[in-house]
């Protein structure tokens, strides 16, 4: 039986990791944020919840029913919903490509997270790390057309970037 990185939701937040890393990815469960390096990974909430459940018990087989009960509590959904979201998760992680193997399926039984996992507890986790590049200033230019009186507003490329 593997080591559980997450406690049940009734435990204090400080007992759960603030960051779980595997491969090039880092999951910040409290923020529902998955990063690849320092770039956010676009992932639906159900796929993110599936990943969280799998990371709670890395190396352990989690039945399809247990996953569905956690991701869709008190709601009846067809089993293919789980399959669709697992597929989306694998695509986002590029699972099975370039030597990456994170999630395996045991046919008829469930899924297992098989990659090495490192959990950390930080005092604060990032709210969101979107970009380290400074924002650029954009100047809007409005023109009035004399025939209709309508205004056309266009963004004009900045002549220089804002520096910090």
Give the DSSP per-residue string, the chain: -PPP-S--TTS-GGGS-SEEEETTEEEEGGGTEEEETTEEPP--HHHHHHHHHHHHSTTS-EEHHHHHHHHSTT----HHHHHHHHHHHHHHHTTTSTT---EEEETTTEEEE-S--EEE--SS--S----SSPPBP-EEEEEE-TTT--EEEEEE--SSB---
Evaluate whether residue 21 is within a structural domain. Answer: yes
Evaluate whether residue 6 is within a structural domain. Answer: no
Evaluate whether residue 164 is within a structural domain. Answer: no
Q: Which residues of the chain have pLDDT under 70?
A: 1-16, 122-164
Evaluate whether residue 141 is within a structural domain. Answer: no
Considering the entire predicted model, what is its pTM?
0.66
Which pLDDT score, from 0 to 100, does residue 72 have? 93
Evaluate whether residue 67 is within a structural domain. Answer: yes
Evaluate whether residue 72 is within a structural domain. Answer: yes
Which pLDDT score, from 0 to 100, does residue 151 have? 52
Number of domains forming the structure of the chain: 1
Which pLDDT score, from 0 to 100, does residue 79 have? 86
Which pLDDT score, from 0 to 100, does residue 8 have? 43
Domain membership of residue 85 as a residue range: 13-120
Evaluate whether residue 137 is within a structural domain. Answer: no
Evaluate whether residue 107 is within a structural domain. Answer: yes
């Amino acid at each position: 039986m593997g080591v559980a990185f997450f406690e049940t939701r009734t435990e204090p937040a400080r007992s759960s990791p603030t960051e779980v890393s595997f491969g090039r990815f880092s999951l910040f469960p409290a923020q529902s944020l998955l990063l690849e390096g320092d770039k956010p990974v676009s992932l639906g909430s159900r796929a993110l919840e599936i990943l969280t459940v799998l990371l709670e018990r890395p190396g352990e087989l989690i039945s399809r029913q247990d996953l569905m009960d956690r991701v869709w509590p008190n709601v009846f959904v067809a089993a293919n919903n789980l399959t669709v979201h697992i597929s989306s998760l694998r695509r986002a992680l590029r699972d099975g490509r370039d030597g990456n193997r994170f999630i395996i399926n045991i046919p008829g039984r469930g899924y297992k997270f098989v990659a090495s996992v490192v959990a950390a507890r930080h005092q604060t986790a990032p709210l969101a790390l979107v970009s380290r590049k400074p924002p650029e200033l954009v100047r809007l230019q409005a023109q009035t057309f004399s025939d209709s009186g309508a205004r056309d507003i266009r963004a004009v490329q900045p002549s220089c970037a804002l520096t910090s």
